[in-house]
Structure formats: structure tokens, C-alpha cells
Structure 1
Amino acid sequence: MGDGGDGQKATLLQWCSSARWSASRRRLLSAAGNTEGRAHAGMVLVMLAYSGYHVLTKSVLNVGMNQVVFCVYRDLLAFLVLAPVAFLCESRRQRPPVTPQLLASFALLGFTGLYANPLLVVVGLHNTNASYAAAFQPSIPVFTFALAAIVGFEVINIFTKDGILKVIGTAVCVSGAILMALYRGPSLIGLGGTETAIGIVTSGTWSSTPYPAQWLTSTMLKYGVDTWHLGILCLIGNCLAMAAYLVIQAPVMIRYPTSLSLTAYSYFFATIFMVLTGVLATNGLHEWALTKTEIIAVLYAGIFASCMNYAIITWANKILGPSLVALYNPLQPAFSTILSTIFLGDPVYLGSIIGGVIVIAGLYLVTWARYSEAHRALTDGCLDPLLVGPPRVPKTHESSFMDP
């Protein structure tokens, strides 16, 4: 009887332990899902804010405002807003000590994502055209995916269903964005014959006639690089800069997890770089004067399109990883088309609708594969059950995305 009682107790304990583990697993998946859901919603908000930024500033930049000056004011305002917010919202105990290595990382982040990214597009657009530049922007997720795989942040197993879906989803998302850039089709809403929204969409920048630094063009011409090829090189550099920004930011977030402070430091260095460039790219103090309309555009660009957006991108990068964050960039053409139709009366073309649906389908495939991968890993018991938020695999089974 004693042995039977002990066996029943052991069976009962095993059942209770299994039930508790199943409940804990469900809670972890639910918490991770809620956190990732907020990150996905935040990235959609970022793309909407960028699209509103394009629509609001298009008319301002088209009437002759120096775009490098616009970049300077935008970055300066973003830093002046973000720095005190980070100081008040993140206590000194939350912020790790700033080491020389971290300062170098902040400078690199500021140079790649907040300085080189918009400035290279300005020069690239000047030497090519808007449609050609827009066709390059969908390569940002591809470059991010490749860089993340090279440095080990993204592990893809093409022999599993989840790995195959990640690759297919990325390709589908990029294909939809390319379709919007290259195919316009008939006008479904509004009158045709005007420029489509995709003509002004570039990753966080714009495509009106720019005022680039002339010294850069003349320097490249001395080495036998004509203006068209200079534009192509700048557009490729723009995509690489944004991809590098997302990939570099992931390990920095491990060492310095306070998102607002990290973004503020990055903007500090980006502002220094941009001011120096502005001094070289302007022809007098008159180019620094702003009208009332330009002030409104700068306020929106600095507070929403820069300060808010990059703070959300930094936070979402910590949760979703660089590859998935980059996949939201192709949504900008679709959102810009919608906002341009509502506020500017621009027509909606068939290519924008088809491309937008394809982009959303690609994002869904990658997101579903990400969740399925996390669910299977947790079911197999290889994730830390004490972790709150997006789970991270031990070093022997690296996760596809870097989490703190």
C-alpha cells in the first residue's frame, strides 16, 4: 500500500508540475505576445508619422528651402526635446555609466542612422530621380537581414518551416514595395496625371529638388565618377546606413538598455555632424531664415518624425530585432499615398493598392514565423521560464533576434 501511495503521490506531483509549467508557458507566450503587439503597433505609428512628415513638408521643401538646413534644424530640435525627456523619465540608476566604448557606439549610431541616412538620400536624389531613389528603399530590409545574419543576430534555418517563411516573407514584402515604386497603373481614386506619393517617399527623408553639398560632387568628379553613378552610390549608401544603424543598435541596447537616453546621445553626435555639413553646404545666413510654414514643418519633423519615431524604433528594435523592424519601411509608400489623397487630393493608383496588400502579407508571414519559432522553442523547454517579455534562447541555441 505504501509503495502504491508513493507512486500515486509521485504521479500527482508530476501532473501538478506539468500543469504549472503549461500555465507558466501560456503566461509567457501571452506576455511576449502583448509586448510584441505593442512594438508592432509602434512601428505602424512610426510609418504613419513618416508619411505625414512627407505630406506636410513636401510643399515647404519644393519652394526652395535648403534641405541640409532643414536637416540641421530637425536634428537640433529632436535633441533638445529628447535630452530633457530622457533625463526626467530615466533615472540615473537606470542609466549605466557611459564608457568611451559606449560613446563611440553612440557616435556610430548617430553617424549611420541619423546623419548619413538622410544626407545620402539628398545627394542621391539630386543626381538621379525620385522614382529611381524610391526603388532602392525596399533594399533596406534585405541589407538589414544580410548584415544581421553575418554578425549572428539573425539565424535562419532554411530546413524548417519557420526559416522558410522568414525568407519568403522578406522577399514578398520587398517585392510589394518595388511594385509600388515601378508600377503605377490606372488611377482608381482622383484624377491621374499628378505625381504619386511614392515619388516623395524615401526612408525617413524626401525627394524634392535638393541642395546638396557641392564640394562632394566636385570631389567625386575629380576621381572620374560622374554625377549619375555618384547618385547611385549615395542611394546604396543610404540603404546600407539605415541597415547598419538597426544592426549596430541591437548589441548596444544590451549594454545600455535605456532607449530614450541612447537615442538622445545618438542625436547629439548626429547634430554635430549635420551642423558641420550645413556650414559647408550653405551659401550664406539668408538660407538659415525660416518662414512660419517652414517653422511648422521643422517642429513636426523634429518632434514627431525624428524624436518620437527614433525613440520608438530603438524600443521596438530591442523587442523585435533589426530584421523585423526594417521590414516596416516598405509601408511608407502605402501610407503616404493614403495621406496624400486625403490632404493633398493626389490620386490613388492601382499599383499602390496591390503593392500595399503584398507588403502587409509579407509582414504577416515574417511575424507569424517569429511567433511560431518562439512558441516551439518554449514548448521544447529551451527558453528561460523566468524571463518576462520576449524570451531569449540560451547561448547554445541563439535566438533569431537579440533581446536584453
Structure 2
Amino acid sequence: MAIRHWYKDLVPFGAMVIMECVNVALNTLFKAATLKGMSYHVFVVYAYAVAAFVLLPAPFISQRSRVLPPLSLPILCKIGLLGLIGSSSQIMGYTGISYSSPTLSSAISNLVPAFTFLLAIIFRMEKVAVRSSSSQAKILGTLVSISGAFIVTLYLGPPIIIAHRPSLSFHQQINTLKSLDQSWAIGGLLLIAEYILVPLWYIVQVQIMKVYPDELTVVFYYNLCVSIVAAVVGVISENNANAWKIGLDISLASILCSGFFGSCLNIAVHTYVLRIRGAVYVAMFKPLSIVIAVAMGVVFLGDTLYLGSLIGATVISIGFYTVMWGKATEEVVEDVTSHQTPTTQNVPLLQCYKTDQS
């Protein structure tokens, strides 16, 4: 009994808390590297190349240990589309972090369930019953989350925790705050665009898993594809050849850590917890990243915490939990009233929700 409690409760809980800390730490490390001059285009190329190199044995191991269908041209095209969506999402996301902060990224990431619900309705993968309490909760949570995103993006507000910048004069600090308003809004809009693309990534991923059910092989080709697409974009966008040279500094540490811990370990841990406890349990830990990001940003980056970020993050978290409560209620009702085999028509897209993109 004690072993079962340890396996079902303590290990998933500890794993999720650790991974939220790791994900925020990777964003904080990336922000610190960009402050030292690292290009986010170069970062995406190298980080996903590292992940692809780590997963290089996966296709050979999978083919020997499992009976899998051949990698046909349609499957490769879908993986290519997945890579195109993923590379666009990552470039927008890391650009948004460079303009704003990991705290804002963690706050806006809670919009994923809301955007997933909207796209599920558009693609007719989610049925909405106006009189159903679960549907009402998901609609209300979506509206609340989106309103919170507007708050956290457009309203900076007065500082709550002021970063210590002794080298700046009073007028320089005022000018810094004025420029921060504009960059904060640009970063917020880019992060919103990133988390609109994430549900599209889920849709394509689900379609690939139906015809080629091997996660590690798909992730390997996905990382390889993202690295290639990002390299093409980077060569066009990054004119400075010296930007592609990485020394033995924080930039190299950020690339290696993101490639291994972000794209490899993160997927393994979340797949394990999803199998043990389900998607709702995994999603419940997402707002925890806001608190971790605030603490790391203030301590390690010298970020200033603003009232707008606190209010917006709170509103988004309320909307997030409202959507997840509606989803949990819907799953309970489905378990009680139906024992039929799930199909693509009666399994909502939100069931495929995962907290972090590889």
C-alpha cells in the first residue's frame, strides 16, 4: 500500500514540481544568455540540433523492438508540418522572452487550454452544450484567460519589487521604464502568438500518432526538422556571422541544457506523469511556474516585478483552473454515462493537452 502511494502520488507530484522548476530555469538561463548577446535564432538551431543528436538512436531502437509501419511520404510531410509549426512557435516564444521576461512567458502559457478549447470548437473536435455546467465553465474560463492576457500584455503598472540598478541615474531609469512598456507589449503579443500555435501543434501531433505510434522516433524527426527550418530562417535573419560562434560561456550552457533537459527529459517526465495521473493532473501544475519565474527573475536576472504582471497572472490562473475544472467535470460525466471505446468524434482535443512543447 505504501509503495502504491509512493508510486501514484509522491513520485508524480515531485516530478512535476521539479520539471516546472527546470522549465522556468531554462527560460531564465536563455534570458541571461540573450542579455550577454546570444541570438535567439542561433539558440533555436543549436538547441534542437542537440536534442536531435541525443535522440539519434531512437529510430533504430524502435524499429528493432516494435513492429511499426514504414515512414511513408505522407507521414514525413506531417512531421515536416509539425516542425514548421514548432519552429515558428519556438522562434516567436524565445523572441518574446528576449523582449519581456520568463515571468510573462509563464503567465501567458496558461492560455494554452483556452486556445485549445477555441480551436477544438473550430475544428469540431469539441461539442459545446450551452446548458452544460462543464461547457459553461470552459467558455467562462476561456474568456477570463483571454482578458487576463490583455491585462498582462498591455498594462505594466507600478513596480512592486524594484530591481537594483545603482549604475543608472533617475532619468535613465525613467527612460528605461518607458522603453520597457513598448518592448513588454511586443513580447506579450509574440508570446500570445506562440501559445496560439501550440494547440495547432497538438492537432498535427495527434494525427501523426494515429498512423505512426512511436513518440521518440517522431520527436527525433521533429527536432531535426525544427533545427533545419530554424537554420534557414536564421541564415536569412542573422547577418552577423560571429553570432553563430558559441564560446565556453552561458550561451553554450543554455543551448546544451535546453537541448537535453527541455526537449528530451521534459518529454519523458510528462509522458510518465500523463500515463500515471492523466492530463488534468499535469495541467494543474502550470500556474506554479509563474511563482517560480518571478522568484528566479528577481533573484538571478534583477527583473522588476510589476503590478500588471501580478494582476494579469492571477486572472489567467483563475481562467485556467476554470477551464480545467470544466474539463474534469466533463470527464467524470463521460466515465459514468459511457463505457464505449473513444474515437476521434467523442474525445475532446483538451484530453491531449500537455503543459510544455518539446
1:359, 1:328 → 2: CA distance? 14
Structure 1 residue 97 displacement after superposition: 3.2
Q: Does 142-151 or 289-298 show the bigger shift?
A: 142-151
The 4+ residue runs of structure 1 with deviation greater than 6 A are: 122-126, 133-139, 192-195, 197-202, 313-318, 324-331
Structure 1 residue 327 displacement after superposition: 9.7
1:123, 1:191 → 2: CA distance? 22
Structure 1 residue 290 displacement after superposition: 1.1
2:214, 2:124 → 1: CA distance? 23
Q: With CA pairs under 8 Å and 6+ residues apart, which has the higher RCO, 1 or 2?
A: 2
Among 154, 175, 192, the alignment partner of 2:147 is: 175
2:232 match: 276
Secondary structure (helix, strand or coil) at the match of 1:292 reads coil
Q: 1:398 corresponds to which letter in structure 2?
A: N
Are the aligned partners of 2:273 and 2:282 in contact in 1 as well (CA < 8 Å)?
Answer: yes
Are the aligned partners of 2:84 and 2:226 in contact in 1 as well (CA < 8 Å)?
Answer: yes
1:105 match: 78
1:399 match: 347
Alpha-carbon distance change, 349 to 261 in structure 1, aligned in 2, over 3 angstroms: same
Alpha-carbon distance change, 251 to 159 in structure 1, aligned in 2, over 3 angstroms: farther
Q: 1:250 corresponds to which letter in structure 2?
A: V
1:201, 1:110 → 2: CA distance? 28
Question: Structure 1 residue 119 and structure 2 residue 91: aligned?
Answer: yes
1:75 match: 48
Structure number, greater radius of gyration: 1
Trace 1:41-52 onto structure 2 (pairs within 5 A).
42=16, 48-52=21-25
Secondary structure (helix, strand or coil) at the match of 1:83 reads coil
Structure 1 residue 169 displacement after superposition: 1.9
Alpha-carbon distance change, 82 to 281 in structure 1, aligned in 2, over 3 angstroms: same
Are the aligned partners of 1:174 and 1:330 in contact in 2 as well (CA < 8 Å)?
Answer: no
Are the aligned partners of 1:198 and 1:333 in contact in 2 as well (CA < 8 Å)?
Answer: no
Alpha-carbon distance change, 317 to 257 in structure 1, aligned in 2, over 3 angstroms: farther
2:256 match: 299
2:313 match: 356
Trace 1:131-210 onto structure 2 (pairs within 5 A).
141-191=113-163
Q: 2:141 corresponds to which letter in structure 1?
A: G
Are the aligned partners of 1:189 and 1:349 in contact in 2 as well (CA < 8 Å)?
Answer: yes
Are the aligned partners of 1:337 and 1:352 in contact in 2 as well (CA < 8 Å)?
Answer: no
Gaps of 5+ in 1: 1-33, 208-230, 385-391
Q: 1:292 corresponds to which letter in structure 2?
A: L
Structure 1 residue 266 displacement after superposition: 1.0
Question: Structure 1 residue 261 and structure 2 residue 217: aligned?
Answer: yes
Among 188, 193, 208, the alignment partner of 1:252 is: 208
Identical positions, percent:
27
1:387 match: none
2:58, 2:182 → 1: CA distance? 35
1:235, 1:105 → 2: CA distance? 24
CA root-mean-square deviation: 4.5
**1:101-135 alpha-carbon deviations (Å, 9 max, x no partner):** 2111111111101x111334577899xx649x979
**1:23-76 alpha-carbon deviations (Å, 9 max, x no partner):** xxxxxxxxxxx69x959975x766543422221122321232232222211110
1:265, 1:50 → 2: CA distance? 22
2:356 match: none
Gaps of 5+ in 2: 1-7, 165-172, 353-358
1:143, 1:170 → 2: CA distance? 8
